A and B are shown apart, each in its own frame.
Chain A
Amino acid sequence: MPEPVVVAVTAPLALALAASLLGGRRGRWPGLLAAAAVVAAVALLTRDVVAHGPVRHQVGGWGAPLGIDLFVDGLALLFLWLSAGVGAAATVYATAYFHDDEAAGAFWPAWLTLWGGLQAVFVTADLFNAYVGLELLGLAAVALVALGGGRAIGAATRYLLVSMLGSLLYLLGVALLYAAHGTLDLSRLAAAAGEDGLERAALAAMLAGLLFKTAIVPLHAWLPPAHADAPGPASAVLSALVVKATLYLALRLWTALPGLATAGWLVGALGAAAVLWGGLHALRAPRLKLLVAYSTVGQLGYVLLAFPLLPSSAAVAGAAYQALAHGVAKAALFLAASTVLRAAGGDRLDDLRGLGHRLPVTAVAFGLAGASIVGLPPSGGFVAKWLLLTAAVRAGAWWVVLVIALGGLLAAAYVLRVVGRSLAPAHAGAPPLKAPRRLEWTALALALASVALGLVAAWPLALLEGLAP
């Protein structure tokens, strides 16, 4: 029986090949199969990790440094579950979203490749393999954005260039790090890390590259057009998952290498800027999907706010939980927004009046997920912000508390922009809207999950606390 950790990575990749061979809308069958395989593999992996502690696996028995080593602990599992859950929902959504063979034929292989790359980043034990995973998912993500056509082509091109530039910086850092220590295995690096100027330069380059690819203010301008103009399910996985891959690597580096602590305040300050900047721009976005995309810019900032508070366990938990809760809620928001866009033929905010009556399930999904983004109790977003606030208060970092509070107010304001309009009476003569049930209910399922993440926070947190290295 194959190792679940290997299946979690290779199943989507192999089925991507199958989808491209089948072509057209038939690609949905390998897609659904991949979703089932990934969820099952992650579930089995969870069982193994819970029973025996972190899993380390040498693919093909080759072993580092030439072979590929995989490593899964609590932190990795949290991100794997995020990827499995949101990915499965996006897959189901996509089966009902694409009408024509051409778009579907391009979507399925690209999405499954992306998924494989994503899983590879989450399970990697080594910084170079992380680079390969990042490139794999980056190129596939660009292809997904380009599927939007028209305006999206420009956004995709910009995204690709940013992605290449960011990856190169990361690779530069990897090269310097290898020159300094002769290894790229995270656990060995942690042991070898010292006061080396070369190592400092390497880490600075890697972090800069990762921050660029994570769209942290002021390096974020590429994200809103790319995420907003991509087709529906693609927007969801881009905003919920793809930016988390680089964030995950940054978090991994930070927890593994104590030398990074001195840059904590800088990364935290960038995070604070992101929270405020993203929130303000979400307030002025004229289109729904653009608003949701700017909300991503702001919400990613929250994760960085935890960096100056590391390595406190509450800060690790807060960062990871924010990534998780935001991912689920954001996917729900993007799926709901895309349903509106498709049903109404446009997503200008002023056309959303009466949405509550015209597409009730979607409006409810948007409201619930929005509550989690704002951080209203008892949602997952609330738990994440609560953990971050606890860590900040304990560390006496009052500016972090202030930023989280301001960010919450901004988020409440931009979510209310949408919810308020959907509760308002519709314009006279506004046509009733119709959307396939599968689109509406997938978004609702994710929105409910984003609330449930708060109700049962103890489970994921136990996974994280008991098993983090």
Chain B
Amino acid sequence: MTLLREVPALWLVAPLLPLLLAAGLIVPAWRAALLRVAPWAALPALLLALVAPVGTSGALPWLFFGARVGLDDVGRPFLLLTGLGWLAAGVHASGYLATDARRDVFTRWFLVAMAGNVGLVLARDALTFVLFFSLMSLGAYGLVVHDRRPSSVHAGRVYVTLVVLGEMALYAGVLLWVADGGDLAFGARPPHARFTELSAGLLLVGFGIKAGAAPLHLWLPLAHPAAPTPASAVLSGAMIKAGLLGWLRFLPLGEVAAPGLAVFCMVQGFASAFLGVIVGVTQRDPKTLLAYSSISQMGLMNVGVGAALLDPRHAATAVAAVSLFAVHHALAKAALFLGAGAVGSWPAGRAGRALFAVALTLPALALAGVPPTSGAVAKAGLKEALLAAGVDGAPITLLALSTVGTTVLMARLLLLLRARAAAGGRLPASVVAGWGAMVLASGVGLWLLPWPDLRQAVLARTHLVPGWYTIWPVAAGLGLVGLWGWLVRAGRAPAVPEVPAGDLVVPIERALGRSAETWAAVTAGAERLVGLGRSLAAALGARGAAALGRLGRVEAALLGWEVSGGALLLVLVALFVALTWG
């Protein structure tokens, strides 16, 4: 590992390998060979996450303004989830898209987004971070629109709009951040560094778009399901965490107490958490439901960010809890997306079916926070962090209530998946491998974390024997699901003795029908707004053309010698005046 210290450019192998592979894929002659290597492109990142010692970083004085890359306490969990997520998705994609005619195009965007994601996690200075962030955003666009269906193209358009807005906010926010702090490097802000609300607001918006923070989440339920399954898994698993990491990097965590910002983050976080559940539960498409679930879970992480902002002394605890939650969610969500893509290949044999059911259920249980899965650990950690920051009462109750919601959501997901289960061709081995790895990781991954200190910290805060606090929300959620089913049975056809096991789908679907009408009205309204904007733009365009025409006349006049001579005299006199009396 001294090698990493002596040759800091080695850090760059992790982001550069996918980038070079993406570039190489342009050459037709190399394509076949490179496509065989591409699934493993995230391996260097994963290796770095596992073996590189925390606290090492290297300066790359020749890159950008002089970049720094490396690994710290905050970066390590994110590198782990990024490396693991991309590796599993890459392996999965090699089988999932084996027959896709445009597989090379997909792989190229996939690798570009991967390079950006890995690079931003390794970045130890502001500029390197946002440059890789932009690269990831760019690559993700190609993933969203890959299948070129109208819905995907539409999702891509919404995505690009929000990304452009987000990047503008981001660069403005980072610029202010740098101008206020005087240094690009993370963790090197001098004590006199200011932290302005404007900068914080811009960063919240810029990263919030990627993190799906309501109400900036609009693109997410459209775009995450639009992408091919392995891409959905990384979008909702790894890439969404880049927005969170951005907050952890740029907000003044552990530096100052920012109560206003903290309350804002918590309110926003809980709003996201419940919005994700309430809208998500009405969804018919499992992938869309999962996307809403991501919005909900990211909201909970933002609550943790709020806790870190509240009290600088306990910020480290909160950041650790949020990072842990991020790892847990990345793994579970990726496993669920990959599972949702596999239900079309429902196996025929009993053993196969059982295995399938377990593989689908395990990450769902983890997400709901059923002990002793990673989800229970993550949620307990978050609660501890809130308590440590001095938050008690309503937020703790809301946290528990969100678990109720997540449980309902996951039950709904499993019912939907079961309804969609259909016999199909055998899954390719690589698909099974990628999916299986994610399922295993989400189930037991957190217990196998390779860092004893982190594991100790987790264990110290978590009661292995599930406490009442972890059990009642899950139980309540399941109870709610049962109650709902009983109501349906009772209200709809009490005389029918046999109700199919999936009857819960019916009332939910009726609710969905209503919400679909509402949704249609909303979208119609939005379309009308868009149309209005378009005609306004057209009118402005006509005006603009006329104005440009007038500009042309001014320009022609400037070509005349009298005018330009007069202008020259004017500039001359103005310069003299400014120099003399300025």
Query: Does A touch B (CB under 8 Å) in the complex?
Result: yes
Question: From B64, which residue of chain A is reached at the shortest CB distance?
Answer: A457
Q: Are B548 and A280 interface neighbours, CB within 8 A?
A: yes
Does chain B have a CB within 8 A of A260? yes
Does chain B have a CB within 8 A of A4? no
- Complex Cα–Cα for A10 and B116 (A): 47
Residues of B contacting A454 in the complex (Cβ-Cβ under 8 angstroms): 64
Write the B173-202 contact mask toward A (1 if CB under 8 angstroms, else 0).
Answer: 001101100000000000000000000000
Q: How far is the CB of A123 from chain B (nearest CB, A)?
A: 27
- Assign chain A's interface to a size class: 35 or more
Q: Are A378 and B131 interface neighbours, CB within 8 A?
A: yes
Q: Are B175 and A389 interface neighbours, CB within 8 A?
A: yes
Does chain B have a CB within 8 A of A183? no
Q: Are B580 and A280 interface neighbours, CB within 8 A?
A: no
Residues of A contacting B579 in the complex (Cβ-Cβ under 8 angstroms): 200, 203-204, 259-260, 262-263
Residues of A contacting B23 in the complex (Cβ-Cβ under 8 angstroms): none
Interface residues of A in 419-461 (CB under 8 A from B): 454-459, 461
Q: Are A262 and B578 interface neighbours, CB within 8 A?
A: yes
- Complex Cα–Cα for A378 and B67 (A): 13
Q: Are A458 and B62 interface neighbours, CB within 8 A?
A: yes
- Complex Cα–Cα for A360 and B377 (A): 54
Q: Which of A201, A218, A259, A458 has the most CB of B within 10 A?
A: A218
Does chain A have a CB within 8 A of B568? yes
Q: Are B564 and A265 interface neighbours, CB within 8 A?
A: no
Main DSSP-derived SS at the A contact region: helix
Q: Are B131 and A377 interface neighbours, CB within 8 A?
A: yes
Q: Are B571 and A221 interface neighbours, CB within 8 A?
A: no
The one of B61, B551, B571, B576 that contacts A200, using a Cβ cutoff of 8 Å: B576
- Complex Cα–Cα for A266 and B131 (A): 34
Does chain A have a CB within 8 A of B453? no
- Complex Cα–Cα for A390 and B184 (A): 11
Does chain A have a CB within 8 A of B398? no
Write the A278-303 contact mask toward B (1 if CB under 8 angstroms, else 0).
Answer: 00110110000000000000000000
Does chain A have a CB within 8 A of B542? no
Q: Which of A88-96, A206-214, A323-331, A332-340 is the contact stretch?
A: A206-214
Does chain B have a CB within 8 A of A60? no
Does chain A have a CB within 8 A of B264? no
Q: Are A211 and B571 interface neighbours, CB within 8 A?
A: yes
Q: Are A283 and B548 interface neighbours, CB within 8 A?
A: yes
- Complex Cα–Cα for A197 and B581 (A): 11
Question: From A263, which residue of chain B is reached at the shortest CB distance?
Answer: B578
Does chain B have a CB within 8 A of A394? yes
Q: Are B179 and A390 interface neighbours, CB within 8 A?
A: yes
With A377-B134, A457-B64, A458-B63 as known contacts, state yes or no: A205 contacts B572, CB within 8 Å: yes
Q: How far is the CB of B178 from chain A (nearest CB, A)?
A: 6
The one of B62, B65, B548, B571 that contacts A208, using a Cβ cutoff of 8 Å: B571
Q: Are A218 and B558 interface neighbours, CB within 8 A?
A: yes
With A207-B575, A266-B574, A284-B551 as known contacts, state yes or no: A219 contacts B568, CB within 8 Å: yes
Inter-chain contact total with CB atoms closer than 8 Å: 102
Q: Are B578 and A266 interface neighbours, CB within 8 A?
A: yes
Residues of A contacting B576 in the complex (Cβ-Cβ under 8 angstroms): 200-201, 204
Q: How far is the CB of B456 from chain A (nearest CB, A)?
A: 41
Q: Are B65 and A458 interface neighbours, CB within 8 A?
A: yes
The one of B65, B171, B581 that contacts A461, using a Cβ cutoff of 8 Å: B65
The one of B176, B564, B573 that contacts A219, using a Cβ cutoff of 8 Å: B564
Q: Are A281 and B555 interface neighbours, CB within 8 A?
A: yes
Does chain A have a CB within 8 A of B66? yes
The one of A165, A222, A383 that contacts B65, using a Cβ cutoff of 8 Å: A383
Write the A357-384 contact mask toward B (1 if CB under 8 angstroms, else 0).
Answer: 0000000000000000000011000010
Does chain A have a CB within 8 A of B582? yes
Question: From A169, which residue of chain B is reached at the shortest CB distance?
Answer: B572
- Complex Cα–Cα for A89 and B147 (A): 42
Does chain B have a CB within 8 A of A237? no
Q: How far is the CB of A138 from chain B (nearest CB, A)?
A: 17
Does chain B have a CB within 8 A of A81? no
- Complex Cα–Cα for A284 and B178 (A): 37
- Complex Cα–Cα for A313 and B131 (A): 24
Write the A36-51 contact mask toward B (1 if CB under 8 angstroms, else 0).
Answer: 0000000000000000
Residues of A contacting B549 in the complex (Cβ-Cβ under 8 angstroms): 284
Residues of A contacting B179 in the complex (Cβ-Cβ under 8 angstroms): 390, 393-394
Q: How far is the CB of A204 from chain B (nearest CB, A)?
A: 4
The one of B175, B573, B581 that contacts A390, using a Cβ cutoff of 8 Å: B175
Does chain A have a CB within 8 A of B559? yes
With A208-B575, A284-B552, A393-B175 as known contacts, state yes or no: A458 contacts B567, CB within 8 Å: no
Does chain A have a CB within 8 A of B130? yes
Residues of A contacting B578 in the complex (Cβ-Cβ under 8 angstroms): 262-263, 265-266
Does chain B have a CB within 8 A of A386? yes
Q: How far is the CB of A129 from chain B (nearest CB, A)?
A: 23
Interface residues of B in 519-557 (CB under 8 A from A): 548-549, 551-552, 555
- Complex Cα–Cα for A433 and B440 (A): 56
Q: Are B66 and A281 interface neighbours, CB within 8 A?
A: no
Q: Are A208 and B580 interface neighbours, CB within 8 A?
A: no
- Complex Cα–Cα for A283 and B575 (A): 30
With A219-B567, A459-B62 as known contacts, state yes or no: A204 contacts B575, CB within 8 Å: yes
Residues of A contacting B567 in the complex (Cβ-Cβ under 8 angstroms): 218-219
With A218-B564, A284-B548 as known contacts, state yes or no: A263 contacts B65, CB within 8 Å: no
Q: Are A208 and B568 interface neighbours, CB within 8 A?
A: yes
With A221-B555, A270-B571, A390-B178 as known contacts, state yes or no: A456 contacts B65, CB within 8 Å: no
Q: Are A219 and B580 interface neighbours, CB within 8 A?
A: no
Residues of A contacting B582 in the complex (Cβ-Cβ under 8 angstroms): 262-263, 265-266
Residues of A contacting B65 in the complex (Cβ-Cβ under 8 angstroms): 383, 457-458, 461
The one of B131, B568, B573 that contacts A165, using a Cβ cutoff of 8 Å: B568
Q: How far is the CB of A276 from chain B (nearest CB, A)?
A: 10
With A284-B552, A386-B175 as known contacts, state yes or no: A200 contacts B580, CB within 8 Å: yes
- Complex Cα–Cα for A211 and B62 (A): 35
Residues of B contacting A462 in the complex (Cβ-Cβ under 8 angstroms): 61
Interface residues of A in 259-275 (CB under 8 A from B): 259-260, 262-263, 265-266, 270
- Complex Cα–Cα for A389 and B172 (A): 9
- Complex Cα–Cα for A91 and B19 (A): 33
- Complex Cα–Cα for A446 and B66 (A): 23
Q: Are A393 and B176 interface neighbours, CB within 8 A?
A: yes
Residues of B contacting A386 in the complex (Cβ-Cβ under 8 angstroms): 127, 175
Interface residues of A in 178-207 (CB under 8 A from B): 197, 200-201, 203-205, 207
Q: How far is the CB of A4 from chain B (nearest CB, A)?
A: 24
Q: Are A456 and B572 interface neighbours, CB within 8 A?
A: no
- Complex Cα–Cα for A456 and B64 (A): 5
Question: From B571, which residue of chain A is reached at the shortest CB distance?
Answer: A208
- Complex Cα–Cα for A284 and B549 (A): 8
Residues of A contacting B551 in the complex (Cβ-Cβ under 8 angstroms): 280-281, 284
Q: How far is the CB of B528 from chain A (nearest CB, A)?
A: 27
Residues of B contacting A377 in the complex (Cβ-Cβ under 8 angstroms): 130-131, 134, 171
Question: From B164, which residue of chain A is reached at the shortest CB distance?
Answer: A412
Q: How far is the CB of A211 from chain B (nearest CB, A)?
A: 6
Residues of B contacting A218 in the complex (Cβ-Cβ under 8 angstroms): 558, 564, 567, 571
Q: Are B61 and A458 interface neighbours, CB within 8 A?
A: yes
Binding site for B on A (CB under 8 A): 158, 165, 169, 197, 200-201, 203-205, 207-208, 211-212, 218-222, 259-260, 262-263, 265-266, 270, 280-281, 283-284, 377-378, 383, 386, 389-390, 393-394, 454-459, 461-462
In order of increasing CB-CB distance, the 7 nearest A-B pairs are A262-B582, A204-B576, A393-B179, A204-B575, A263-B578, A221-B558, A208-B572
- With A204-B576, A259-B579, A284-B551 known, 14 other A-B pairs at CB within 8 A are A197-B580, A208-B575, A212-B568, A218-B564, A218-B571, A221-B558, A260-B579, A263-B575, A266-B578, A284-B549, A377-B130, A377-B134, A378-B131, A386-B127
A-B contact pairs, 23 of them (CB 8 A): A169-B568, A169-B572, A200-B576, A204-B572, A204-B576, A208-B568, A208-B571, A208-B572, A211-B571, A218-B571, A219-B567, A219-B571, A221-B559, A262-B579, A265-B582, A280-B551, A377-B134, A378-B131, A386-B127, A390-B175, A393-B179, A458-B62, A458-B64
